[in-house]
Amino acid sequence: MNLLTGIFVFILGGLGLLFLALCARFYFGRRRAEQVWSAAQFPKLKDMGAVKQLSILPLIDDLTAKDGLSAESGVSYLIRADDTTILFDAGLNQAGEHPSPLLRNMEKLGVSLDQIDTVFISHLHLDHVGGMSYQSKRTFGLSGEVVNLVGKRAFLPTEMTHPSADVTVVTEPRIIAPGTASLGPISRQLFFFGWTLEQSLAINVEGKGLVLVIGCGHPTVQRIVERAKQLFDLPVYGVVGGLHFPVVDKPVQRYVGTDNWLWNPANKQTVKKTIAALKVHQPRLMALSPHDSCTWSRAAFQQAFPGAYRDVRVGELIEL
Ligand SMILES: [Zn+2]
Ligand SMILES: [Zn+2]
């Protein structure tokens, strides 16, 4: 064997071992996630109350409603629930810019930092915490340079810190403001990203029911709805956010973020099953984030929920 062949065999062997290690991690992680899910028992969240008004303004996502706004494959929504104003996730800011696309869109949409009292991070993935550098430091950030969040509460789904916000690591479902709760982190093992804890928001709108706001939807929307049903005796009025259906034209996300075996990621059948499961609840509002769902999936939802469906677009207010 000459030197070149030796190097080639060595690299190939290393890659093979790495792949086997990923498979083993995925196998055991997935089993663990199923055990955690089956064992999770939470009492009803009583006395949450309800809000009279709810509006959701997408600040970052894949599509924009108006010229001049920045689009990126991440999530950040401004949620106004009566007197509480929540920044849900912090976008992607892939280039680490300052001001970030999020800050620029906020300015263009007339949103200032002092209007926000609470930050809610769905999960520790780069497209939700403001970029890879924040993800690797287990924190979040609104821009490439420090943005002071003194006096703001931050509800985080896993062990994370922030230099200035008043941080609470959420370990189980809890009320975070009148009419507003975290459903608590739900775990999922992803093939490449590994162990992922994702929390979603539930907002009880008076006379209507729960609006669920979801970041990437890794736990599956079926489980998120099931958790909401465990915690509240309320109908699901709306679902807004990412459900992770990059089944046709988002090949990178399809494989990188899969929670199935690598050779069997989510497909059209998965989307159809999910639609059937959601239809049981007859949501009146179904707003799908394009950041982690492809055009085919969005069209399928649009067809399945006529009258209720809308795309999430930056700058287009969802108001109840
Ligand atoms: Zn995402
Ligand atoms: Zn994610």
Residue 70 lies in a domain: yes
Ligand positioned closest to the Cα atom of 196: 2
Q: Are 157 and 165 in contact (CB under 8 A)?
A: no
> From the CA of 295, how far away is ligand 1's center (Å)?
16
Q: What is the pLDDT of residues 277-303, one digit of tens each?
A: 999 999 999 999 999 999 999 999 999
Spatial distance between the Cα atoms of 297 and 303, rounded to a whole number of angstroms: 10
> From the CA of 128, how far away is ligand 1's center (Å)?
6
Q: What is the pLDDT of residues 251-267, one digit of tens each?
A: 777 777 778 888 888 88
Count structural domains, the chain: 1
Residue 15 lies in a domain: no
Q: Are 142 and 108 in contact (CB under 8 A)?
A: no
Q: Are 209 and 136 in contact (CB under 8 A)?
A: no
Averaged pLDDT score across all residues of the chain: 94
Residue 161 lies in a domain: yes
pLDDT higher than threshold 80 for residue 182: yes
> From the CA of 10, how far away is ligand 1's center (Å)?
35
> From the CA of 268, how far away is ligand 1's center (Å)?
19
Ligand positioned closest to the Cα atom of 218: 2
Ligand positioned closest to the Cα atom of 219: 2
In three-state form (DSSP H/G/I as H, E/B as E, the rest C), the secondary structure along the chain is CCHHHHHHHHHHHHHHHHHHHHHHHHHHHHHHHHHHHHHCCCCCCCCCCCECCEEEEEEECCCECCCCCCCCCCCEEEEEECCEEEEECCCCCCCCCCCCHHHHHHHHCCCCHHHCCEEECCCCCHHHHCCHHHHHCCCCCCCCCCCCCCCCEEEECCCCCCCCCEEEECCCCEEEECCEEECCCEEEEECCCEEEEECCEEEEECCCEEEEEECCCCCCHHHHHHHHHHHCCCCEEEEEECCCECCCCCHHHHHHCCCCCCCCCCCHHHHHHHHHHHHCCCCCEEEECCCCECHHHHHHHHHHCCCCEEECCECCCEEC
* pLDDT classification of 7: cutoffs 50, 70, 90: confident
Residue 178 lies in a domain: yes
Q: How far is CA 232 from the centre of its chain?
A: 21
- The model carries a pTM of 0.94
Rounded mean pLDDT, 97-107 = 98
> From the CA of 42, how far away is ligand 2's center (Å)?
25
> From the CA of 289, how far away is ligand 1's center (Å)?
9
Spatial distance between the Cα atoms of 130 and 140, rounded to a whole number of angstroms: 6
Spatial distance between the Cα atoms of 205 and 60, rounded to a whole number of angstroms: 24
Residue 258: its pLDDT value, please?
77
Residue 16 lies in a domain: no
Range of the domain at 245: 40-319
Strand partners, 13: none
> From the CA of 294, how far away is ligand 1's center (Å)?
13
> From the CA of 252, how far away is ligand 1's center (Å)?
12
Ligand positioned closest to the Cα atom of 60: 1
Residue 262 lies in a domain: yes
Residue 224 lies in a domain: yes
Residue 313's CATH number: 3.60.15.10
Q: What is the torsion angle, in degrees rounded to the nearest 10, for the CA atoms of residue 110, residue 212, residue 243 and residue 315?
A: -10
Q: Are 228 and 276 in contact (CB under 8 A)?
A: no
Residue 25 lies in a domain: no
Q: Look up residue 65 and give its amino acid.
A: A
**What is the residue whose two structure tokens read 């070149």?**
4
Q: What is the pLDDT of residues 21-64, one digit of tens each?
A: 888 888 999 999 999 999 988 999 988 999 999 999 999 999 99
